[in-house]
């Protein structure tokens, strides 16, 4: 495996989200439901807040510590899922898990920047980094249902 | 010590990782295995297979001799008084848990104190955290000095007449420091406490003399010293071991079995219920022969020399934080400033370099260092300066990659 594969993984988009995360920082405002997930093996630690109005995701916030894959992915997740219906969000999350494992996914789906994480499939040890914030969001949405 | 000759003993060093020559800098996690160890295990598995201590037939006697021969080799390695002080376990973790679950449960009471440190591997302090919880004893921590070391002065601060157990490491798996075990053992004995030593990172890298240390228990794993996984050792002073209750019951550990009461064999056999990992013990014996023939002083010197070389080069790069600047053993704990250790480890991975990233089963120490995780390069007898050079180049690439030079 060469350095170019690595660049594939850390595409410009990922680095941009890592260095300038969107929707970062938790809110004290009412109406947000919060889920905290940790990966004890590597220390990734993510809190995701979700606000849903009539079946539509109105807002997502995130906060936490972790590697570039973990932190950027939380930013991409929030940007991708905001304004989607709960049903669309579940579908997108399901497809995202396929993407990071290198499997086929629904390319018609509006997934924002999420497909750039295809490179993660070459690094199986990093799949959990990419998915932790998505799992937290998924859990928060399910708990609100 | 001829490293190039030694490297020929390790077939895995001819393998590649990510199309690059394999550079293995994670011997603190587990070491590579030389041919001779694998052959010793195979010899038992292909020529001498039978259970130990049971058969009346010759094959079983031969297997028993191989297994017990390994116990004698461990006895010599540690300079124990007798091979009866050597218990085979599945690893250092099980050995340390055995001390806590047997000695600890029966000798620690509410109000007593157990002393550990923030420098411990989870397997060194968690068994005692649990004993403290169930007995009502207090768990106390030796304050680390400003470099993160356990010192005699600080041990004195926490030892009291209530101390019953001191459970500390000989060499830290993150910092690579050698703890003053001999001095702390003497202090522990003065207050009537015993000392249990996690020597998983010590036995593979230096000469050990349990009589000189005067420690009560000492544990290590075979797989961190060129031996197989699944085998470890608990050394215990015989007068203590032979008074301790077994924690596992079953075949081969019994004396007389009755319907309501049974009695046990003497130590160490009462602690080896069931069929042991016979090939593992034999493999450990071979690893001991292998390392002893090379010489522990030579191994320690080689590691220290390589470490100093690597630390010097890392410092020259700049932008690297080294957490254990002056450690005596071959462990370097560091971070590339501004780069999460997992991102760094992926860069090393693509260069064929195995390096550990994470909390190293030492979360209290990560807290002490104020780091969520660190990188750890750990060196052993088969590593070379050329490998360190490639490691340094990869570190430089990691720095550049994340400082955005590529974008």
The pLDDT of residue A139 is above 80: yes
Select from A8, A43, A120, A125 the residue whose CB has the most chain B CBs within 10 Å, as the one to mutate to test that interface: A43
CB proximity A15 to B under 8 Å? yes
Neighbours of B337 (CB within 10 A): 12
Strand partners, B141: B116
B380 with B330: CB under 8 angstroms? yes
Q: pLDDT tens across B232-249, in order? A: 999 999 999 999 999 999
Q: Which DSSP category does B100 fall into?
A: I
Measured distance CA(B179)–CA(B148) in Å, rounded: 11
Three-state secondary-structure class, residue B127: helix
Q: pLDDT tens across A34-81, in order? A: 999 998 777 789 999 999 999 999 999 999 999 999 999 999 999 999
- A68 contacts B397? CB cut-off 8 A: no
B245 with B102: CB under 8 angstroms? yes
Given B215, B354, B361, B370, which residue is catalytic?
Answer: B361
Contacts of A122 (CB under 8 A, 6+ apart): A1, A5, A8, A9, A102
The pLDDT of residue A6 is above 70: no
Res A137: pLDDT = 97
- B18 contacts A1? CB cut-off 8 A: yes
One-letter-per-residue 3-state SS of chain A: CCHHHHHHHCCHHHHHHHHCCCCECCCCCCCCEEEEEEECCCCEEEEEEEEEECCEEEEEEEEEECCHHHHHHHHHHHHHHCCCEHHHHHHHHHHHHHHHCCCCCCCCCCCCCHHHHHHHHHCHHHHHHHHHHHHHHHHHHHHHC
What domains are defined for chain B?
Answer: 3-25+295-400 (3.90.1150.10), 37-293 (3.40.640.10)
Per-residue tokens: A118: 């295809």
ipTM: 0.77
Minimal Cβ distance to B340: which of A40, A67, A123: A67
Res B372: pLDDT = 83
Q: Which residues of chain B carry a pLDDT beneath 70?
A: 404-407
In this prediction the pTM is 0.91
| Confidence band of A125 (pLDDT split at 50, 70, 90) | confident
What domains are defined for chain A?
Answer: 3-144 (3.90.1010.10)
The pLDDT of residue A31 is above 70: yes
Strand partners, A47: A36, A63
Measured distance CA(A103)–CA(A98) in Å, rounded: 5
Measured distance CA(B290)–CA(B73) in Å, rounded: 11
């Amino acid at each position: 495996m060469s350095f170019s594969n690595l660049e594939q993984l850390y595409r410009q988009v990922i680095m941009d989200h890592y260095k300038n995360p969107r929707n970062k920082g938790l809110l004290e405002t009412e109406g947000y439901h919060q889920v905290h997930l940790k990966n004890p093996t590597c220390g990734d630690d993510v809190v995701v807040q979700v606000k849903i109005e009539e079946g539509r995701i109105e807002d997502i916030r995130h906060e936490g510590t972790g590697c570039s894959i973990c932190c950027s992915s939380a930013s991409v997740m929030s940007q991708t899922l905001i304004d989607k219906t709960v049903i669309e969000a579940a579908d997108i999350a399901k497809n995202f898990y396929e993407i990071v494992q290198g499997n086929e996914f629904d390319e018609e789906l509006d997934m924002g920047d999420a497909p750039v994480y295809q490179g993660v499939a070459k690094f199986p040890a990093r799949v959990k980094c990419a998915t932790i914030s998505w799992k937290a969001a998924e859990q928060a949405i399910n708990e609100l249902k | 010590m001829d490293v190039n000759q030694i490297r020929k003993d390790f077939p895995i060093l001819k393998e590649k990782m990510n199309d690059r020559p394999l550079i293995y800098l994670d011997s603190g996690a587990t070491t590579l295995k030389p041919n001779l160890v694998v052959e010793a295990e195979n010899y038992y598995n292909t020529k001498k297979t039978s259970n130990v201590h049971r058969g009346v037939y010759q094959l079983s006697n031969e297997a028993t001799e191989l297994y017990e021969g390994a116990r004698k080799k461990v006895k010599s390695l540690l300079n124990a008084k007798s091979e009866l002080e050597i218990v085979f376990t599945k690893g250092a973790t099980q050995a340390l848990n055995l001390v806590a679950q047997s000695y600890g449960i029966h000798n620690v009471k509410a109000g007593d104190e157990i002393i550990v440190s923030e420098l411990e591997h989870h397997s060194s302090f968690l068994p005692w955290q649990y004993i403290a919880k169930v007995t009502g004893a207090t768990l106390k921590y030796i304050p680390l000095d400003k470099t993160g070391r356990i010192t005699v002065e600080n041990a004195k601060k926490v030892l009291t007449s209530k101390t019953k157990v001191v459970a500390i490491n000989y060499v830290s798996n993150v910092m690579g420091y050698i703890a003053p075990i001999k001095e702390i053992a003497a202090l522990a004995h003065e207050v009537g406490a015993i000392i249990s030593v996690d020597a998983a990172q010590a036995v593979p890298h230096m000469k050990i003399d349990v009589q000189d240390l005067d420690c009560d228990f000492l544990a290590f794993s075979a797989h961190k010293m060129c031996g197989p996984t699944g085998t470890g050792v608990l050394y215990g002073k015989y007068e203590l071991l032979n008074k301790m209750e077994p924690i596992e019951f079953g075949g081969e550990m019994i004396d007389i079995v009755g319907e309501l009461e049974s009695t046990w064999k003497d130590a160490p056999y009462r602690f080896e219920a069931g069929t042991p990992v016979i090939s593992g013990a034999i493999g450990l014996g071979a690893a001991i022969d292998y390392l002893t023939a090379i010489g522990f002083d030579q191994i320690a010197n080689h590691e220290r020399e390589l470490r100093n070389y690597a630390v010097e080069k890392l410092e020259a790069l700049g932008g690297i934080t080294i957490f254990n600047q002056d450690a005596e053993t071959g462990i370097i704990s560091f971070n590339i400033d501004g780069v999460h250790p997992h991102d760094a480890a992926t860069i090393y991975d693509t260069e064929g370099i195995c390096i550990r990233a994470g909390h190293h089963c030492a979360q209290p120490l990560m807290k002490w260092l104020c780091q969520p995780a660190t990188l750890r390069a750990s060196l052993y007898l088969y590593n070379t300066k050329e490998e360190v050079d490639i490691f340094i180049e990869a570190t430089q690439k990691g720095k550049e990659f994340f400082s955005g030079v590529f974008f």
